[in-house]
Amino acid sequence: MNHEAVTVIGLGAMGSKMAEVLLAAGHPTTVWNRTPGRAAHLIAAGAAEAPTAAEAVAASNLLVISQLDYAAMEDSLQGVDLTGKVLVNLSSDSPDRLRQGGRWATERAATLITAGIMVPPPGIGQPGAYSFYSGPREVLEVHTSTLEALGRVDYVGTDPGLAMLYYQAMLNVFWATLTSYFYSAALVGSAGVSAGELRPYVATMLVDLAENGPMGFLKILTAEIEAGHYSGDQNSLHMQAVGSEHVLQAFTQAGLDTTLPAALAAIFARTDADGHGQEGLGSIVEMIRKPAA
């Protein structure tokens, strides 16, 4: 098998692991990092360390970039000839910043593929790892078998901002879910109940929310969002808005931080005030689409 040469730009926690995984998959790998001295273990594994960004770019047609943000890419590659290069950037930034990065690459006769990687360093290349990719599909397809060393390649569309939009949508669910669990653990903890006693109930609820759970709420509410109709027959938004005030009171009474429960109560109250009180929980999405001025 003929392995494609790859240059990895950025040797932080993520980039180092990516280079390691690409080397292990048999790709001739060149590495470069703004601060030198981070490549010793990669050189030992067979990587070539380029002394300059220009030499790193010259070494491969495919550049895998993992840095703090997109400004780092533009800083690092300023003045470097990028003609004909394929830049696959797995760094985080805002969707508009990715779109700007796409134009920046085009102006330099290069192609940018944007990506949002959904695993931390130890997960890179492991079963279940995946990334969202956006940009020109035909260019991505040429390099898909190489990029699959990092995990599954999920193409989400031409718009370069889409990879981050998916990534951020997923992070939002991840952070909001776990942060709400932390608040709940603190709430029961205020009465001497351990997080371990609460955990099985939370675990069951998360399974139930998922598509295959007995209640399948996620599936039901997704259908409602897509139809734009939110059934409140059994549990109206107004009733839940009142309930969210009770949750807020519970945190206040326990002497805990109320940032999250107050935000939830405010979200419910605004949706109720917008006239969705007799609809269901999913009507919150309508309020989100009409942000307060």
Ligand X SMILES: NC(=O)c1ccc[n+]([C@@H]2O[C@H](COP(=O)([O-])OP(=O)(O)OC[C@H]3O[C@@H](n4cnc5c(N)ncnc54)[C@H](OP(=O)(O)O)[C@@H]3O)[C@@H](O)[C@H]2O)c1
Residues binding ligand X (CB under 6 A)? 10-15, 33-35, 38, 66-69, 72, 75-76, 91-92, 117, 120-121
Closest to ligand X by CB, 80 or 242: 80
Question: How far apart are alpha carbons 106 and 96 in whole angstroms?
Answer: 15
Q: State the minimum distance, in angstroms, from the CB of residue 167 to ligand X.
A: 8
Beta bridge partners of 134: 114, 157
Closest to ligand X by CB, 59 or 187: 59
Q: State the minimum distance, in angstroms, from the CB of residue 37 to ligand X.
A: 9
Closest to ligand X by CB, 71 or 267: 71
Q: State the minimum distance, in angstroms, from the CB of residue 104 to ligand X.
A: 14
Closest to ligand X by CB, 76 or 111: 76
Closest to ligand X by CB, 69 or 148: 69
Q: State the minimum distance, in angstroms, from the CB of residue 230 to ligand X.
A: 33
C-beta nearest to ligand X: residue: 12
Closest to ligand X by CB, 36 or 275: 36
Q: State the minimum distance, in angstroms, from the CB of residue 159 to ligand X.
A: 19
Q: State the minimum distance, in angstroms, from the CB of residue 121 to ligand X.
A: 6
